[in-house]
Amino acid sequence: MELRHLKYFVAVAEELHFGRAAEKVQITQPVISDQIRRLEQELGVKLFFRTKRTVELTEPGKIFFKEAKQILERVEKAVDAVQKADRGELGSLMIGYTGPALYTLLPKIIRTFRDRYPQVELVLKEICTNEQVEALNSGNIEVGFLHPPVDGEFEFISIMTEKMVLALPEDHPLTTFTKVPISKLSNQSFILFPRHEGLSLYNRILLMCQQAGFAPKIVQEVTPQPTMIGLVAAGIGVSLVSESLQNINRPGVVYRKLDVTTPELELVAAWKKEKVSPVLPKFLQVVTEITRIN
């Protein structure tokens, strides 16, 4: 028994007329009559009562009609699903992101993609840049929002570049400055992220301080950035964070620029070209659109 036999049977069962059913499935009446007869022989069951004027389903025919329709509907759904999956409109996408990405364009990118492709499941994992590189190489994520430079053979879309700002407790004396002289930070307690979670940026922050004649007094190394801001609000120290973190508007914290050029934090979307899922090109198209208009 083949799917075409079910299609022929359902057509006759719906039309209760061999001629009209033959036209519906685009074969001749003798052929469809012969196929139904062969189907009945294979099943060992009479599916239709036939007279010169009428065609009616038998009781077994009525049961087979219900089951056959369900089978054809499931096949149609399966075909539709696999075609959507091939077009990247159905399936899932594993995404890695760093904490700072949440305060930039990432939420808008995710929202736009979900609105456009509601049948695609997006699975997001917050992990640092180094761990994203490992996850991309192992296939545990398919695209990462991370901060270069990174080692490896990746494709990139640059999302944005932002400067660092100084986060201070709201009652800190340095809040009186519009731009804080970096020399004023020589005796301050610093809250930074662990070196291994952003080696390049960490080293650039240290270099900036060294060029100003001091080594920062680091009292806490924590992640994510909102935790750093929480410690600043608690008066534990000051911190250098990405500009976009000001969007949190955390009570007890104020932000100031420094009087020197601060390190910049670039955010990119990264993926391995040879490990592209059908969903990924659709997602990257949204990333490109959102990045271009913002």
- Helix axis angle, 3-15 to 29-43, nearest 10°: 110
Q: Which of 232, 87, 85, 107 is nearest to 166 (CA)?
A: 232
The reply to whether 174 and 242 lie within a common domain is yes
pLDDT at 223: 86
Rounded to an integer, the average pLDDT of 15-40 is: 90
Beta pairing class for 264-271 and 143-146: antiparallel
Q: Are residues 115 and 191 in the same domain?
A: no
68, 86, 104 - which closes a domain: 86
What average pLDDT does the segment 48-63 reach?
89
Q: Which token pair is 276?
A: 């592209």
Dihedral of alpha carbons 160, 164, 170, 175, sign: negative
Instruction: Report the domain count for the chain.
Output: 3
Instruction: Average the pLDDT over 241-267 and give the result.
Output: 92
Examine the domain organization and report whether 222 and 167 are in the same domain: yes
- Each as own residue / partner, the long-range contacts of residues 33-40 (CB below 8 Å, 24 or more positions apart, any chain) are 35/4, 35/5, 35/8, 36/8, 36/9, 36/12, 38/5, 39/1, 39/5, 39/8, 39/9
Instruction: Kindly report, residue by residue over 144-167, the tens digit of the pLDDT.
Output: 999 999 988 899 999 999 999 999
Residue 275: is its pLDDT beyond 70? no
Partners of residue 161 on adjacent β-strands: 266
At 266, the pLDDT band (50, 70, 90 cuts) reads: very high
Mean of the per-residue pLDDT values of the chain: 91
| Whether residues 137 and 278 fall in one domain | yes
Predicted confidence at residue 292, as pLDDT, reads 93
133 plus 179 within the same structural domain: no
The verdict on 13 and 73 lying in the same domain is: yes
Mean pLDDT of 235-243: 95
pLDDT at 191: 97
**115 and 257 part of one domain:** no
194 and 234 assigned to the same domain: yes
Q: What is the CATH number of the domain that holds 11?
A: 1.10.10.10
* Domain final position from 35, 65, 86: 86
* 38 in the same domain as 104: no
Paired residues of 121 in beta bridges:
92
Looking at the fold, whether 220 and 252 belong to one and the same domain comes out as yes
pLDDT at 199: 87
Confidence of residue 91 (pLDDT cuts 50, 70, 90): confident
Do 167 and 254 have their domain in common? yes
Domain limits for position 20: 3-86
Same domain for 51 and 127, yes or no, is: no
Q: Once rounded to an integer, what is the mean pLDDT over residues 20-33?
A: 91
- Which residues on neighbouring strands pair with residue 144, listed in sequence order? 96, 270
Work out the percent of the chain whose per-residue pLDDT is above 90: 68
